[in-house]
Amino acid sequence: MRKKLPIGIQTFREIREEGYYYVDKSSFALSLIEQGKYYFLSRPRRFGKSLFLDTIKELFEGSEPLFRGLAVHDKWNWSVSYPVIRISFGGGAVRDRSELDATLHQQLSYHEKRFGLPAAFPDIRSRFLELIRLVREQSGQRVVVLVDEYDKPILDRIEEPDAAREIREGLKDFYSVIKDSDANIKFAFLTGVSKFSKVSLFSGLNNLEDITLCATYSALCGYTDKDLDQVFAPELEGLDRDEVRMWYNGYNWLGDAVYNPFDLLLLFRNRLFRSWWFETGTPAFLIKLLSERQQFTPDLARIMAPESLLSTFDVGNIPSEALLFQTGYLTIDSARYLPGRLELILRYPNKEVLASLNDCLLQALSQDPMVPARNVSRLYDILIAHDSAALKDLFHSFYASIPHDWYRKNQLAGFEGYYASIFYSYFAALGLDITVEDSTNRGRIDMVVRFSGHIYLFEFKVVEMVPEGKALEQLQAKGYAEKYRQYGEPIHLIGVEFSRESRNIVGFELAEG
């Protein structure tokens, strides 16, 4: 039987009482409560963090009817309830420290009114500390503290370092109350997008257990394939299951892979494959940062990073890998355990992110969103027609459209890598099957594209560094096509040569493999 789709609904009670689809996450809540006390979880936006916190809230408050039929129902003591203080920064943006203070005072006032308590102190830290103590004293039970989007005030001003640091210091002081109130706290859970270092933000709350990369809780937020088959089976009718998986599955935190819930719910409602999640608020800051750092876009599909790097996130010190991983534009492909060290290989999670992120990077480069839009459309038509020769004119047109001022401001050390990035991003913007630096027994192929029953092998060269004609010659001399003959599909060898001086393609040779 089909039910209502809980698009944008973060209230557990509403979902359960109003007959919406619900994926049962209560067993995760029970496990956390039974095994620990202080937790932190980082997940990208729109993955269900707020709904999970609300589920914990209703569980501690003893809302037994809401949990009937769920995994936790017969394992929870419903005769006892606990007071819950929930702090959320999911609303409007905070512009400076004074607005942060005003927001915190407002939320503390709300909870004081809820429990019928006076505002005993004028400063935020003392007020929060006293609120927890008095609620414990009044109720006779220790307090549950839940903080939603703990980092949003900082991220709202991440491009203004001075303001961001002031906000960070205010939050650090506020969160330190949780540790100081240990005797009065039953359970505490903080969620957010980023994972600021404990030194910068959590020095006053260094007893948090970070479950971000805990395999047991990889599927705490998001939907698994099993969830789709068991809960959303009525919505899958008429949809290509493999296409659904390719577009929206693939997020992984060292455990079960999950889908982005927001994507799936909008797919089920609209019956169209689109970048639903990406379109809801990809930060301009991210695209700007990647452009300024001249990110070699093919590397995004195969980044190796130690776990420590992904935790290095603070105002004025944000590695690209950490930013992309924590915001959901890269995810874990595999892990390697070394003595005292965890190395992670990152990749795009799915077709949605691969296509949309590269499209945004192309728009930033051209400074005109219509330029890549026209060229991506033209590229698709060329590939459908298998007109390899037309690719030269298409890419020559794109390189010619890049503003001259961009070259003046961006002196890339590796021009071959820059030009290859442009090629890669165009094919990636179509969400195609791409492999970069594919290994063979004779060397590495710069880029391989498989589409519509054809295989395209690319080699890139800069003519100021090697004689003209060497790109195609290398493809042929090293027999790169041999690896792909097993597929029985037409193979096209394409040697592409660029010039630093003309800043464009000067050689484009074709041959059949």
Tell me which residue of 259, 253, 271, 254 sits closest to 231, measured CA to CA: 259
Task: Please report the pLDDT score of residue 415 as a whole number.
Answer: 55
Provide the mean pLDDT of the chain: 90
Which residue, of 352, 379, 402, is where some domain finishes?
352
- The two tokens of residue 95 are 């512009």
Which residue, of 182, 217, 252, is where some domain finishes?
217
Alpha-carbon span 291 to 385, nearest angstrom: 32
Task: Please report the pLDDT score of residue 408 as a whole number.
Answer: 47
Q: pLDDT confidence of 439, banded at 50, 70, 90?
A: confident
308 and 245 within one domain: yes
> What b/e readout covers 52-62, taking b as 16+ CB neighbours within 10 angstroms?
bbbbbbbbbee
Mean pLDDT of 185-211: 83
Residue 202 has pLDDT above 80, yes or no: no
Which residue, of 217, 244, 263, is where some domain finishes?
217
Task: Please report the pLDDT score of residue 396 as a whole number.
Answer: 84
Q: Judge residue 340's burial from the number of C-beta atoms within 10 Å of its C-beta, 0-12 exposed, 13-18 middle, 19 or more buried.
A: exposed
Residue-wise pLDDT tens digits, 34-79: 999 999 999 999 999 999 999 999 999 999 999 999 999 999 999 9
330 and 304 within one domain: yes
Residue 494 has pLDDT above 90, yes or no: yes
CATH number of the domain where residue 404 is located: 3.40.1350.10
442 and 311 within one domain: no
Q: pLDDT confidence of 382, banded at 50, 70, 90?
A: very high
Number of domains the chain contains: 3
264 and 212 within one domain: no
Task: Please report the pLDDT score of residue 412 as a whole number.
Answer: 45
Percent of the chain at pLDDT above 70? 94
Of the candidate ranges 109-123, 346-360, 382-396, the one whose mean pLDDT is the lowest: 382-396
Q: Judge residue 488's burial from the number of C-beta atoms within 10 Å of its C-beta, 0-12 exposed, 13-18 middle, 19 or more buried.
A: exposed
Residue type, 32: L
Residue 225 has pLDDT above 90, yes or no: yes
Mean pLDDT of 384-399: 86
Residue 197 has pLDDT above 60, yes or no: yes
Asked if residue 269 is part of any domain, the answer here is yes
Task: Please report the pLDDT score of residue 416 as a whole number.
Answer: 60
90 and 184 within one domain: yes
Crossing angle (nearest 10°) for helices 49-60 and 26-35: 60
Alpha-carbon span 63 to 16, nearest angstrom: 11
Domain range holding 339?
Answer: 224-352
Whether 420 and 446 have beta carbons less than 8 Å apart is answered as yes
Asked if residue 5 is part of any domain, the answer here is no
Task: Please report the pLDDT score of residue 199 as a whole number.
Answer: 56
Alpha-carbon span 15 to 101, nearest angstrom: 32
